[in-house]
Amino acid sequence: MMNFPSPYVNSTKKFSKNTQLGFCTTKRSLQRETTVSFYIFSCFNFQVIKKRKRKGKIGNLERMESESEVSLCSQSSGISEFSDDDVSLMELGSGNYGCSHYKRRCNIRAPCCNEIFDCRHCHNEAKNSLDINLLERHDLPRQEVVKVICSLCDTEQDVQQYCINCGVCMGKYFCAKCKFFDDDTSKNQFHCDECGICRTGGKENFFHCKKCECCYSKVMENKHHCLDRPLHHDCPVCFEYMFDTTKGITILRCGHTMHYKCVKEMEKHCRYSCPICSKSIGDMTRHWEKLDQVVASTPMPETYQNKMVWILCNDCGANSLVQFHIVGHKCQSCKSYNTRQIQGDPTASCESSVTEIVR
């Protein structure tokens, strides 16, 4: 249980001293009047919050956040024997409202279509479904949301963390820039000013790469391969936009990004190369060693034993002249089997190639 900030403690003591209603001094009477006391004290707290708002003393987000610990379960002298199960303004209704994407105690009014949704993802799923006319499909611009509806009292109001009517906290995590609410603070949400959106995982565990224009884990700070905005595109497998996705993302050795689940789905179908640049997605040394054994145990027919082909390595980009084999062609530079067969001699000039064709 959390203590009241000093203004509320003083107000509570004064209230208990003046009224004496529901706050009896003896332990026996306190137990008998618990229900009435809790209700009266709850109403009193709501009135205090409303009154202080009218006076302009809680007019900004910083003050609201500093007073977020004002609960209905105080350890002040009048109600010090209340149990830990008492509901506070911060916890009232927490976890009971929201959608499959977020747990929150408010809905949003979409400024684009003036309809009410649980969150922007719910809006995007509904407005981009196959049932919607292609010309009418659209996404919700999160920064343009100006109205929210409290899930407990259905009061529509400007975007803020606490309801102006019932005083309930509509989201334990609240970002005024993204107009974002979430009751599940175990995600360790934080706002990145460079990205312009909120991310999860804890700010202390991530850094913003100015060249890639996105946040990466600090483990990769000096190890990742920088590309031009690698997250600002669709996943090459499922075609979902990557920059603000809520799904797990993995960064391949080549620097390209895609959903972690999509990578695992590719591996199930024996696909181990990047869908964008065709480079290997990981260390394939053991796989190449197994292919060496397969090639050695699979002799080619006599007709193909002297056939030579040119190959291009997808991993290192080198050209090699190797013996043709039905299993695969090994790069002479990096020993990779991630290669493709190319026609003709890549070192020959265009003129000689044309001459060869004419002959």
The yes-or-no verdict on residue 233 having pLDDT over 60 is yes
For the chain, give the percent of residues with pLDDT over 90. 48
Q: What is the pLDDT of residues 104-138, one digit of tens each?
A: 999 999 999 999 999 999 999 999 999 999 999 99
Can you tell me whether residue 98 is helix, strand or coil?
A: strand
Residue 359 pLDDT > 80, yes or no?
no
pLDDT tens digit sequence for 296-330: 999 999 888 889 999 999 999 999 999 999 999 99
The radius of gyration of the chain's CA atoms, rounded to the nearest angstrom, is 32
Q: What is residue 81's predicted lDDT score, i.e. its pLDDT?
A: 40
Band of the pLDDT at 223, cuts 50, 70, 90?
A: confident
Look at residue 356 and give its three-state secondary structure.
helix
Query: How far is the C-alpha of 239 from the C-alpha of 236, rounded, in Å?
Result: 6
Buried-exposed string 69-83: b where 16+ CB fall within 10 A, e elsewhere = ebbbbbebebbeebe
For residue 110, report the phi and psi dihedrals to the nearest 5 degrees. -70, 125
This prediction's pTM = 0.58
Tens-digit pLDDT profile for residues 240-255: 888 888 888 888 888 8
pLDDT at 179: 93
Identify the DSSP state of 301. Answer: P
Which residue spans within 62-178 are E strands per DSSP? 106-109, 116-117, 147-150, 156-158, 173-175
Length of the chain: 359
pLDDT band at 344 (very low <50, low <70, confident <90, very high): low
What local confidence, expressed as pLDDT, does residue 355 receive? 42
pLDDT digits (tens, 9 = 90+) for 143-178: 899 999 999 999 999 999 999 999 999 999 999 999
Percentage of the chain exceeding pLDDT 70? 71
Report the pLDDT value the prediction gives residue 211, as an integer from 0 to 100: 87
Q: Which residue has the tokens 């043709």?
A: 324
Residues 6 or more apart in contact with residue 163 via CB below 8 angstroms: 106, 150, 152, 153, 155, 157, 170
Note the pLDDT of residue 224.
Answer: 82
CA distances from 258 to 109, 216, 232, 264, 345 (A): 31, 14, 11, 11, 36
Q: How confident is the model at residue 6 (pLDDT cuts 50, 70, 90)?
A: very low
